[in-house]
């Protein structure tokens, strides 16, 4: 916050502002380049202190779209909320996987389902309808 005891208030009109005779801290020559220039050279200590992960590669991004899957145990929880007919594709879920147990009949609409999931749901008296 500006107040009257600041160095800049005292040095008004002094031209060099306490940085010596020949214009240190004046032009763009003191900047050391634009942006991230010099991070491998004269700004190396800045890199070590403030941007240690700037250089190099970090992980990867898959080019394949992720499939959202749901277990039968999660499907049972959904069935309590939504009823006996569940359209998983409208919920944004692509695949049904067979982990868990189901004891009541459910009709499930889904793009993909594992064999064990189909077996468990049909064993409980339900149906799995695979969408195209």
Task: Quick: pLDDT tens for 6-48.
Answer: 998 899 998 888 998 888 888 888 889 999 999 999 999 999 9
Query: Is residue 105 a part of any domain in this protein?
Result: yes
What integer best gives the mean pLDDT of the chain?
A: 91
Please determine, for residue 121, whether its predicted confidence score (pLDDT) is greater than 80. yes
Total domains in the chain come to 1
Query: Is residue 18 a part of any domain in this protein?
Result: no
pLDDT score for 48: 96
Contacts of 127 (CB under 8 A, 6+ apart): 105, 106, 107, 108, 121
- Which domain, by its residues, includes 97? 69-130
Query: Is residue 75 a part of any domain in this protein?
Result: yes
Neighbours of 88 (CB within 10 A): 23
CATH at 93 = 3.100.10.10
Query: Is residue 95 a part of any domain in this protein?
Result: yes
Give, in degrees to the nearest 5, the angle at Cα 17 between 13 and 22: 110
Please determine, for residue 53, whether its predicted confidence score (pLDDT) is greater than 90. yes
DSSP readout, 15-47?
Answer: SSTTSTTTTTTTSGGGT-SSTTTTTTTTTHHHH
Instruction: State mean pLDDT over 105-129.
Output: 92
Query: Is residue 56 a part of any domain in this protein?
Result: no
pLDDT score for 2: 76
Give the DSSP letter of residue 11.
Answer: T
């Amino acid at each position: 916050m500006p107040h009257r005891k600041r160095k800049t208030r005292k040095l008004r009109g002094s031209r060099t502002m306490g940085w010596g005779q020949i214009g240190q801290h004046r032009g763009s020559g003191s900047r050391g380049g634009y942006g991230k220039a010099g991070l491998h050279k004269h700004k190396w200590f800045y890199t070590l202190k403030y941007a240690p992960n700037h250089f190099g590669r970090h992980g990867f991004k898959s080019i394949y779209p992720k499939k959202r899957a749901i277990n039968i145990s999660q499907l049972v929880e959904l069935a309590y909320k939504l009823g006996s007919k569940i359209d998983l594709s409208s919920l944004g879920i692509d695949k049904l996987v067979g982990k868990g147990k189901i004891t009541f009949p459910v009709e499930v609409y889904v793009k993909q389902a594992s064999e064990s999931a189909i077996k468990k749901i049909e064993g409980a008296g339900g149906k799995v309808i695979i969408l195209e």
